[in-house]
Amino acid sequence: MSHTAPLRLSSTESDVESEVSVITERPWNVIVWNDPVTPMTVVVVVFRRIFGYSNNKCTHLMLTVHHEGRAIVWSGKRERAESYCVKLQVAGLHSSVEQDA
Amino acid sequence: MSAKLFVRRRDGRIEIRLNEAGRDVLREVFVRVVAAERDPEHEWHLSLNAPINPSNDDDDPLSTLARQNEIATNAELSVMTLKEQFLNDAEAWAWLSTLQVALRSTSVANGLLSDEKLAAAPPELINEIQTIQQFLFDLAACF
């Protein structure tokens, strides 16, 4: 019977570090804010074009913005969140990013 | 006014069904966005440069630069294609984005940030907003 050494005896320092970073790295949210002038159809079209979401999802998000004043339209890494935020602003929507609470 | 101002054709192009007066209105709007992006003193400049991350005073200069370039490019492309009879998809998207930027800038520059404020706005301003909205309704229907 051959003896196989255990692959891992204990957690290393880097394991601990990566676990900590997973815990502390909260996602960044892209927020779209309501305004009184933007047509609903434009909001749906912009969401579909920028995120590639289905028509139903875009409509749901648009209605959330309309009724609640804001909606989280995407969550994830900060760089991508800022990139999406820029695209939304270039398309004329009021948007911002914030880290998940 | 029931006829559509923009129609998506079977070949994918978007036909512009505007007379000269309609194109003049659009020219005024597009040129204004170009000017606002270039002139820091322009009344629309602030609304074109809202912070990306409001909790960060320094904001990301690269993201800000990307946005400024893209807004200017969209508006410039819109001005350049004003006399066309047909738009391709990218050109039509530039028109839609520029119109929407103009609409929101008009609203922000005049403090129309709620339904109540909008309802109390002067008739000329309401008319200006509704004109841009009409263009947007018809153009958005093509996407």
What distance, in Å, lies between the first and last C-alpha atoms of chain B?
21
pLDDT at B96 over 70: yes
pLDDT in tens, A28-62: 999 999 999 999 999 999 999 999 999 999 999 99
pLDDT band at A2 (very low <50, low <70, confident <90, very high): very low
Quick one: pLDDT at residue B65? 79
Within an 8 Å CB–CB cutoff, is residue A41 touching chain B? yes
In a domain, residue B1? The reply is: no
Decide if B26 is inside a domain: yes
Chain B contact for A82, CB < 8 A? yes
Per DSSP, what are the bridge partners of residue B86? B15
Distance CA B69, CA B86 (A): 25
**Distance of alpha carbon B28 from the chain centroid:** 11
Q: Is B4 inside a domain boundary?
A: no
Residue B40 domain flag = yes
Mean pLDDT of A76-88: 94
Q: Which residues of A touch B100 (CB under 8 A)?
A: 38, 42, 46, 91-93
Domain extent, residue B74, equals: 22-50+60-140
- B55 inside domain: no
Distance CA B139, CA B95 (A): 8
Averaged pLDDT of chain B: 91
Max CA distance (Å), chain B: 48
Per the model's pLDDT, the better-predicted residue between A12 and B2 turns out to be: B2
Task: Reply yes or no on whether the pLDDT at B54 is more than 80.
Answer: no
Structural domain includes residue B34: yes
Name every chain A residue with its beta carbon within 8 A of the beta carbon of B66. 86
Do the beta carbons of residue A99 and residue A28 sit within 8 Å? yes
**List of domains in chain A:** 27-99 (3.30.1390.10)
Candidates A29, A40, A35, A37; CA nearest to A75 is A29
pLDDT value of position A85 = 95
Handedness of CA A70, A74, A78, A80 (dihedral sign): negative
| Residue B123 CA: distances (Å) to CA of B103, B120, B129, B131 | 16, 9, 10, 12
Helices and strands of chain A, counted as H and E runs = 4, 3
Query: Above 60 in pLDDT, residue A22?
Result: no
Which residue, among A32, A33, A40, A82, would best test binding to B if mutated, counting the most B CBs under 10 Å from its CB?
Answer: A82
Handedness of CA B37, A65, A52, B130 (dihedral sign): negative
Residue A5 has pLDDT above 80, yes or no: no
Whether the pLDDT of residue A75 is over 60: the answer is: yes
Strand partners, A74: A30
Is B17 part of any domain? no
**What is residue A42's predicted lDDT score, i.e. its pLDDT?**
98
Q: What confidence score (pLDDT) does residue A33 get?
A: 97
Residue of chain A whose Cα is closest to the Cα of B134: A39
Domain count for chain B, please give it.
1
**Structure tokens that stand for A9 in this block:** 């005896």
CB nearest A35 (choices: B54, B74, B113): B113
